[in-house]
């Protein structure tokens, strides 16, 4: 009997609409075969459940790396990506590589045992085969997206066989990925109704479209995403802001997700929740949206902020695409005639959020009393360095550190925009492209009045679909992959990250602060932004004019290295398999 590079672990099923704990009194096995494990439906089911575990679906916020994009910053820290220091010993890279190959091997063992089993019903065998192929297709998709050519195998390997592996051309692997997704599409149901939920036909079609788009195969991406749309199984959630809140489960927009469940203590890690909670409520408040993201949202007339007469740099949330104030905690005036000033705050998690340096006391809406404002830097030096906090998906359960938002890994808005992007790149421009994009935009506005996209010019539509992706998916882990395939990372992740001018607080809280922020911004009436940032032809905001005018300060400087468009093969892998070549530049 062959000894596989495989250690079987058992975990609760997490791709389902309702949860149940499995307390298994079973020892871990160094090998998997029909004699000691795969002998009935439940054992196959448990093995497949392990493939949906979060370890095999990496976040882009891992450890101290934070998100690799121009959407998020952590005070004045940097990442190995935006400083050009990523190397083959990087912990994130090593973890992603190792976990993905673990997932592949486990899925291959299941497929092998499906070929040998004689106990499953035809219906169960069909579904399990579809799931196993979906999983290996997704895992290999992740590998070729991040590393290009990688070691490839289609059966469990012995240790000796693994030492002989070399890299396979990613285009050859892509063909196999399509085959695996097609098997999944043919075998998986459109839905499971109530109860447990696993990979579906729609998920397989959507993920096939995603890898095709990432690889520049626009014809396949368009066909697969259209087939997903034609299933009629998905619709956009009525309210963009509500979609991401923890109570929203199993929305009709969800194509594929890893659910969490507070009752079973399957929750977002407490420290991760604390990073997003304002300091006034006991959080760290250390992960913020960037000024680049705030500047990226169009005004409600559909024009960028440097072209729209509606934009007011003193009130940067005013008259903007509604997704702006549903993603970033707003402050100041929001619409004409609301009676609010640039120094006004807004209600967030039952408190007033207001970063204005003179607002040292804010309203606690729960008690009806004023309390110390720990989210202004005139009180706390570690308050948000740029005055911004995330609002998207955050409710009071984050304050309790017992929050269970589902991990939305694929949603219908992405399917619609993938279809539109693929058709735009093919220059196959028709009403279906406009309809797909306008569905996403119209949902954001929740009214008949929204800036509808009407042009059929390819270059302009390319800008519009990239804009939609930028403002539709912040903090969902997709921006990095968009920047990579559009070859914009070298521009978006190079340059300065800006924040507010320094505040010097007076020990007497009844006295306003002094310092540059007061003398240069607040007293002359220039708070929040003293000037309007510019927006480039590529949609990337530029805030250098604020800094050059002395209206902001540099928090940190980025310098993306183009070698990082492909990640390095981890050194431990090449130490034991020296035949593996390294990606250029490492």
Given a cut of 90, whether residue 110 has pLDDT beyond it is: yes
Q: How far apart are the first and last CA of the chain?
A: 39
Query: Distance (Å, rounded) from C-alpha 222 to C-alpha 228?
Result: 10
Token code pair at residue 239: 């309210």
Give the three-class secondary structure for 176: helix
Query: Distance (Å, rounded) from C-alpha 571 to C-alpha 561?
Result: 19
Tell me the average pLDDT of the chain.
92
pLDDT digits (tens, 9 = 90+) for 47-99: 999 999 999 998 775 444 578 999 999 999 999 999 999 999 999 999 999 99
CA distances from 98 to 88, 160, 192, 434 (A): 13, 18, 32, 41
**pTM score of the predicted model:** 0.93
CA distances from 255 to 17, 225, 241, 258 (A): 13, 12, 18, 11
Query: Distance (Å, rounded) from C-alpha 313 to C-alpha 529?
Result: 5
User: Given 1.25.40.390, 1.10.10.10, 3.30.70.100, 3.20.20.70, which CATH number is that of 191-259+406-486?
Assistant: 1.25.40.390
**Confidence label for 26 from pLDDT (cuts 50, 70 and 90):** very low
Domain locations along the chain: 1-188, 191-259+406-486
Query: Distance (Å, rounded) from C-alpha 116 to C-alpha 1?
Result: 15
CA dihedral 348, 349, 354, 358 (to 10 degrees): 150
DSSP strands (E only) in 290-434? 346-348, 351-353, 361-364, 369-372, 407-411
Burial 105-126 (b: 16+ CB within 10 A, else e): bbbbbbbbbbeebeebeeebbb
| Structure-model confidence comparison of residues 162 and 128, the more confident one | 128
pLDDT digits (tens, 9 = 90+) for 195-254: 778 999 999 999 999 999 999 999 999 999 999 999 999 999 999 999 999 999 999 999
Q: Can you give the pLDDT at residue 65?
A: 59
Neighbouring CB atoms inside 10 A of 401's CB total 17
Given a cut of 60, whether residue 35 has pLDDT beyond it is: no
**Confidence label for 8 from pLDDT (cuts 50, 70 and 90):** very low
Burial 531-556 (b: 16+ CB within 10 A, else e): bbbbbeeebbbbbebbeeeebbbebb
The class that CATH gives domain 1-188 is: mainly alpha
Q: Can you give the pLDDT at residue 39?
A: 87
Q: Can you give the pLDDT at residue 14?
A: 29
Q: How long a stretch of residues is the chain?
A: 586
Contact 437, 468 (CB under 8 A): yes
């Amino acid at each position: 009997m062959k000894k596989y590079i495989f250690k079987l672990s058992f975990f609760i099923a997490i791709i389902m609409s309702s949860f149940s704990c499995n307390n298994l009194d079973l020892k871990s096995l160094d090998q998997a075969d029909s004699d000691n494990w795969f002998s009935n439906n439940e054992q196959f089911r448990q093995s497949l459940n392990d493939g949906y575990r979060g370890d095999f679906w990496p976040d882009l916020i891992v450890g101290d790396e934070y998100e690799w994009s121009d959407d998020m910053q952590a005070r004045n820290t940097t990442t190995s990506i935006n400083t050009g220091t990523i190397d083959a010993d990087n912990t994130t890279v090593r973890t992603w590589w190792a976990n993905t190959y673990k997932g592949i091997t486990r899925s291959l063992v299941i497929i092998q045992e499906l070929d040998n089993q004689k106990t499953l019903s035809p219906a169960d065998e069909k579904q399990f085969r579809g799931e196993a192929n979906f999983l290996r297709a997704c895992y290999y998709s992740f590998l070729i997206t991040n590393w290009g050519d990688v070691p490839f195998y289609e059966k469990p390997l012995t240790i000796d066989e693994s030492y002989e592996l070399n890299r396979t051309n990613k285009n050859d692997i892509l063909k196999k990925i399509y085959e695996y997704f097609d098997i999944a599409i043919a075998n998986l149901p459109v839905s499971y109704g109530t109860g447990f939920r696993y990979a579906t036909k729609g998920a397989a079609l959507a993920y096939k479209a995603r890898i095709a788009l990432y690889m520049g195969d626009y014809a396949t991406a368009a066909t697969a995403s259209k087939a997903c749309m034609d299933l009629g199984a998905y619709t956009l959630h009525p309210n963009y802001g509500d979609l991401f809140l923890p109570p929203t489960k199993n929305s009709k927009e969800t194509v594929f997700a890893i659910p969490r469940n507070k009752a079973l203590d399957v929750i977002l890690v407490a420290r991760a929740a604390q990073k997003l909670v304002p300091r006034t409520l006991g959080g760290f408040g250390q992960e913020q949206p960037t000024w680049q993201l705030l500047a990226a949202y169009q005004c409600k007339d559909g024009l960028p902020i440097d072209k729209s007469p509606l934009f007011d740099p003193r009130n940067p949330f005013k008259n903007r695409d509604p997704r702006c104030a549903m993603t970033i905690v707003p402050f100041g005036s929001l619409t004409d005639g609301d009676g609010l000033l640039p120094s006004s705050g807004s209600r967030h998690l039952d408190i007033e959020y207001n970063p204005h340096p003179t607002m040292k006391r804010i309203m606690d809406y729960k008690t009806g009393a004023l309390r110390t404002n720990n989210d202004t830097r005139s009180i706390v030096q570690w308050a948000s360095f740029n005055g911004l906090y995330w609002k998207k998906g955050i409710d009071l359960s984050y304050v309790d550190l017992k929050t269970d938002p589902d991990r939305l890994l694929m949603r219908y808005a992405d399917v619609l925009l993938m279809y539109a992007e693929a058709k735009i790149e093919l220059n196959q421009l028709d009403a279906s492209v406009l309809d797909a994009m306008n569905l996403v935009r119209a949902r954001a506005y929740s009214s008949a009045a929204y800036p509808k996209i009407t042009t059929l010019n390819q270059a302009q539509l390319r800008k519009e679909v990239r804009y939609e992706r930028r403002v539709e998916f912040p903090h969902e882990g997709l921006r990095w992959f968009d920047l990579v395939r559009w070859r914009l990372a070298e521009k978006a992740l190079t340059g300065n990250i800006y924040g507010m001018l320094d505040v010097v607080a007076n020990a007497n809280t009844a006295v306003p602060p002094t310092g540059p922020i007061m003398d240069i911004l607040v007293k002359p009436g220039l708070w929040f932004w003293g000037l309007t940032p510019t927006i480039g032809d590529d949609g990337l905001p530029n805030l250098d004019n604020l800094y050059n005018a002395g209206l902001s300060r540099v928090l940190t400087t980025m310098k993306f290295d183009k070698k990082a468009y492909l990640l390095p093969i981890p050194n431990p892998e090449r130490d034991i398999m020296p035949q593996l070549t390294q990606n250029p530049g490492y």
